[in-house]
Chain A
Amino acid sequence: MLLLQEAAHGAAALAEGNGFTPVLPWLIVGLPLLGFVLNGLLSVMAARRALPTLPPVGDPYYDHAHDDHGHAAAAPSLAPAHVHAAVGAGEPSEQESLDHGTDAHPVDRAAARDEAHAVHDAHAVHDASHDAHGHDAHDDHAPAGPKPFTHTLPSLIAPGVLIGSFVLAVLNFLAMKNAGEGARLAIAEGWSWMPVGYLHVDAALQLDPLSILMTLIITGVGSLIHVFSIGYMKEDPGYPRYMAYLNLFVFFMLMLVLGSSYPVMFVGWEGVGLCSYLLIGFWFREKANADAGKKAFIVNRIGDFGFLVAMMLLFWNVGALDFATVNQSLLARGSGIEFAGPVITAIALFFFLGAAGKSAQIPLYIWLPDAMAGPTPVSALIHAATMVTAGVYLVVRSSVIYTMAPAASLVVALVGALTAIFAASIGLKQWDIKKVLAYSTVSQLGFMFAAVGMGAYVAGVFHLMTHAFFKACLFLGSGAVIHAMHHALHSTHNPADAQDMRNMGGLRKYLPVTFVTMGVSTLAIAGVPPFAGFFSKDEIIGAAWLGAEGSSHLSRASLFGVSGAAWMGAIGVILSIAAFMTAFYMGRMMLYTFFGDNRTGDQERRHLHEGDWTLTLPLIVLGALAVVGGFLNVEPHVPIVQLFNFGQGEALHHWLHPVLAGSDDVIAQNVGRLEEPEHSWVPIGLAIAIGLGGLALAAAMLGRRRLQTADVQPAFQGGVEKTLYNKWYVDELYDRVVVKPVGGLSRLFARFDMGVLDWIVDLFGRLAQMFGIAFGRLQTGQVNTYAFVLIVGVLIVLGSFVAL
């Protein structure tokens, strides 16, 4: 009811046409938090229910059952089955111990239900351990009987709150759209969070064109992925926990993009890191998954250190931390911070360190491929569509800072471009379908950073948005493939890896919907017009070409003595090669997965089929967005697509203009007017050639190739392939250069700690002991002696009073 009133209120504001009043802004972030609380409670209940039901003390069967454990499968009637179900995780006998019909030990109905649940839990663990690569192993066998409410309610709550948030975001978007361009900013004050000295940080939300765009992406794509998660995860024993984490993630992500100051953003920043850790290590019973979570967390800490230092520098030099005040202070002349000075450059570089950690840029990208250990919808939501783009968002949000620090901007662009080509080269030779997509994500994030580093903030955000569509679609598609593969392999107890592309092939006949949607997304990411990725990627590479021609504010800046224009030319070349590689590896992935003959196995093939609607609907929606998403920001003079364009053309440019006005002011103040670039057809033609050429090369080189399954086909042939397959040995290098020395140093410190410091502490302990023994001799136990000492003492005190 309240919602409707607020909506009506918003509509009234709409009618006026100038002011913008946010519609229940706190509820946008509050709903996912509510979902987290509810799902968290459910997961606690489910966990309690799955606890082993211990028999009463003195149960004569209990010890007996324990001794007989190994034989329980042969003689289930001898032992109380529920004990086995609880303690027998990993044993192949849990199916047999389900047999309570012949159980001599009477088990009441509730205990039987618990037991079924515990068996199910144990069975999933068994699955994970028997599967060679284990990840994404989830149980396709429905547990006996109807599912408990703890496993049905999250299916309603988790997507429900997200859809609610999405609706609110749309209402806010519409209200903002109808407000005048100058009035598209509202700050929803919460409370005063940190009033310490000169530091005043409010817990407040900032709704402006950029944050509302991010909110729409997060809640929109997030809703679809939540729906997908129902189909993908509902059989997992940890389903409510999964949904709780996912909701918590969305809450923190919304705090990140909606926060009105750097500290509030940092809360979200850390929160999403935490949720990423929790969800990467979701199947934590396997050490590899838990390690991947730890790796992500630790690598992100390095970046967060940069974020913190940048915030402190900012506060030290500007005296405020909320976006509005920071931008005003920086734009005011005589603020003490000079254009391209060391202070602003340091701030920008430290912020970029934070962004590089969160968004997986060189040198901190190593955690993202490992993050694929999490469930596939998590990879789609956190490690492709939303969280990893937080760094891009940070740079765009700090556009004034970066525009004032041209050298730092060029560093950002250069690192982005190098990441783009480096990750793309690794993606060329991965066999794990999710690893291909992971390196593709790193590479595409590199494109975004190259864009925002070159000052093409809109192009970066545009690519962020289209990437969220097609990469989420690709990840969910790979999830659907893995789901089907796992189901097929599981039904014949085949231990082959469900994620290895060598075991797939020809899946387009079995998974038509997945094939079409993933195919569309592949065309989008490869840069084939008129799909979404073409326009966004073309805009980024185009920005590099334009900068090289001298029509960017960075063209006249210099880094390491080389002019910005030359750098941008190099970046344009690097990005073009990376785009070509992108098209190639995506084509390779599609060929190996969906074309050719099926290599899954004759028995398994019969079990390959599409999932239910929760798996296909998000794919279809995201696939459609991957087709049309690019038209949002088409330049008006592109003739072919003028028909599709919304109104005036370059809609995103106009939409984001208020956010980037500050950066334009900086350019006008310090660089002067930039000449309008001339539009040339060559870059666009080149972009089309790159996209189609990469795909065509993949088809020509690999289309005829007959692959064997993973246990026969070698992973690589020759030195270059080996290097690419092993990811340029960067993990090994880091292990040698960072991890091992840190470990050695830690061992050294540990020995110092135990040998020297502990010795000193022990020394004081031993001294006290010795004193105790020595003075203990004075204790005679004779009252007379004590009285004598007492009197002597009194006499001394009195005597000293008299004497003094």
Chain B
Amino acid sequence: MNEIPLSYSLGLSAILFGIGVAGVIVRRNAIVLFMCVELMLNAVNLAFVALSPYAGVEGQVFVFFVIAVAAAEAAVGLAIMIAVFRHRESVDMKNFSLLRW
């Protein structure tokens, strides 16, 4: 059985992470922003899993933690989004500059 080379997995992970980063920087829609963040997290998960045969099983354990945190983060983030939407009638990040001085 042919194994998938490590470089493929890591390359895919890097590409996914890059897409996520680009999305976070470029996109304005808050929901898409969240999805991009999830994408980055999952890229990291992929890298963890891909490396676990070489670096030990701890990477896979970490993945579970990341998934749990990602789930929590998504729940909290979406709740915030809903609250913001109720307030502003928009999820466009351009309209939220509350952190400004």
Contacts of A781 in B (CB 8 A): 96-100
Q: Interface readout for A522-533 with B: 1 if CB under 8 Å, 0 if not?
A: 000000000000
A783 CB within 8 Å of chain B: yes
* Chain A residues near B99 (CB-CB < 8 A): 779, 781, 783, 786
Query: Of B24, B100, B101, which one neighbours A784 at CB under 8 angstroms?
Result: B24
Q: Interface residues of B toward A: which range?
A: 10 to 19
Contact yes or no, A776 B25, CB < 8 A: no
The answer to whether A783 and B33 touch across the interface, beta carbons within 8 angstroms, is: yes
Q: How far, in whole Å, are A787 and B26 apart by their CA atoms in the complex?
A: 10
Chain A residues in 8 Å Cβ range of B96:
781, 783
Contacts A780-B97, A784-B24, A784-B25 aside, 15 further interface pairs with beta carbons under 8 A come to A779-B101, A781-B96, A781-B97, A781-B99, A782-B93, A782-B97, A783-B33, A783-B93, A783-B96, A783-B99, A784-B26, A784-B27, A784-B33, A787-B25, A788-B25
Enumerate chain B residues within 8 angstroms of A776, measured Cβ to Cβ: 101
The distance in angstroms between the C-alpha atoms of A779 and B99, with both chains bound, is: 8
Give per-residue flags for A789-801: 1 if the beta carbon is below 8 A from chain B beta carbons, else 0. 0010000000000
A782 touches B101 (CB 8 A): no
A782-B94 in contact given A776-B101, A787-B25, A791-B21 (Cβ < 8 Å): yes
- Residues in B whose Cβ lies below 8 Å from that of A784: 24-28, 33, 93
| For the complex of A and B, 9 pairs with smallest distance between CB atoms | A781-B97, A781-B100, A776-B101, A787-B24, A788-B25, A779-B101, A781-B99, A779-B100, A784-B25
Q: Give CA–CA (A336, B97) in the complex, Å.
A: 80
| B71: min CB distance to chain A, Å | 21
Bound-state CA distance A788–B21 (Å) is 8
A residues near B94, Cβ cutoff 8 Å: 782
Interface pair B100/A780, CB less than 8 Å apart: yes
Q: B7 to nearest A CB, angstroms?
A: 18
- List residues of chain B with CB within 8 A of the CB of A787: 24-25
Count how many chain A residues have C-beta atoms less than 8 Å from C-beta atoms of the other chain.
Answer: 11
Task: Give the residues in chain A near B21, CB-CB below 8 Å.
Answer: 791
Give A776 to B98 CA distance when docked, in angstroms.
14
Q: Describe A's contact surface by its main secondary structure.
A: helix
Chain A residue numbers with a CB within 8 Å of B100 are: 779-781
A781 to chain B, nearest CB (A): 3
B interface residues with partner A (beta carbon < 8 Å): 21, 24-28, 33, 93-94, 96-101
**Residues on A facing B (Cβ under 8 Å):** 776, 779-784, 786-788, 791
Docked pose: A648 CA to B93 CA in angstroms: 110
Name the CB-closest residue of A to B97: A781
What are 20 A-to-B residue pairs whose CB atoms are below 8 Å? A776-B101, A779-B99, A779-B100, A779-B101, A780-B97, A781-B97, A781-B98, A781-B99, A781-B100, A783-B33, A783-B93, A783-B99, A784-B24, A784-B25, A784-B26, A784-B33, A786-B99, A787-B24, A791-B21, A791-B25
Q: What CA separation (Å) do A781 and B99 show in the bound complex?
A: 5
Across the interface, which residues of B come within 8 angstroms of A780, CB to CB?
A: 97, 100
Give the distance to chain B from A160, nearest Cβ to Cβ, in Å.
71
Q: How far is the CB of A786 from chain B (nearest CB, A)?
A: 8
CB nearest neighbor in B for A791: B21
Closest Cβ neighbor of B94 among chain A residues: A782
Residue of B nearest to A787 (CB): B24
**Complex Cα gap A685–B97 (Å):** 106
In the assembled complex, the Cα of A776 lies from the Cα of B99 at a distance in Å of 11
Shortest Cβ gap from A785 to chain B (Å):
8
Q: How far is the CA of A782 from the CA of B101 in the complex (A)?
A: 12
Q: How far is the CB of B95 from chain A (nearest CB, A)?
A: 10
CA distance A776 to B101 in the complex (A): 7
CA distance A776 to B100 in the complex (A): 9
| Min CB–CB distance A796 → chain B (angstroms) | 15
A169 CA / B86 CA spacing, docked (Å)? 89
CA distance A776 to B33 in the complex (A): 25
- In the complex, which residue of chain B has the Cβ closest to the Cβ of A788? B25
Most buried by B among A776, A780, A786, A787: A787
Please give me the residue from chain A that is nearest to B99 by CB atom.
A781
A521 to B19, CA, bound (A): 109
Q: How far is the CA of A793 from the CA of B45 in the complex (A)?
A: 23
Nearest chain A CB to B24 CB, angstrom units: 5
A783 surroundings in chain B (CB, below 8 A): 33, 93, 96, 99
**Interchain CA distance A251-B96 in the complex, whole Å:** 73
Shortest CB-to-CB span from A791 to chain B, Å, is 6
In the assembled complex, the Cα of A786 lies from the Cα of B98 at a distance in Å of: 13
In the bound complex, CA of A783 to CA of B34 (Å): 12
Contacts of B26 in A (CB 8 A): 784
Cα distance, A783 to B27, chains bound together (Å): 10
A271–B6 Cα distance when bound, in Å, is: 85
Nearest residue (CB) in A for B30 is A783
Closest to A773 in B: B101
> Could you say which residues of chain B place their CB within 8 Å of the CB of A786?
99
Contacts of B97 in A (CB 8 A): 780-782
Alpha-carbon gap, A156 to B36, bound state (A): 88
Q: How far apart are B61's CB and chain A's nearest CB, in angstroms?
A: 24
CB distance from B101 to the nearest CB of A (A): 5
User: Taking the nearest CB of chain A, how far is it from the CB of B36, in angstroms?
Assistant: 9
Nearest chain A residue, comparing its CB with the CB of B28: A784
Which A residue sits closest to B100, measured CB to CB? A781
Closest to B26 in A: A784
Task: List the A residue with the shortest CB-CB distance to B27.
Answer: A784
Give the Cβ gap from A41 to chain B, nearest Cβ, in Å.
Answer: 57
Q: Which residues of A contact B98 (CB under 8 A)?
A: 781
A784 to B22, CA, bound (A): 10
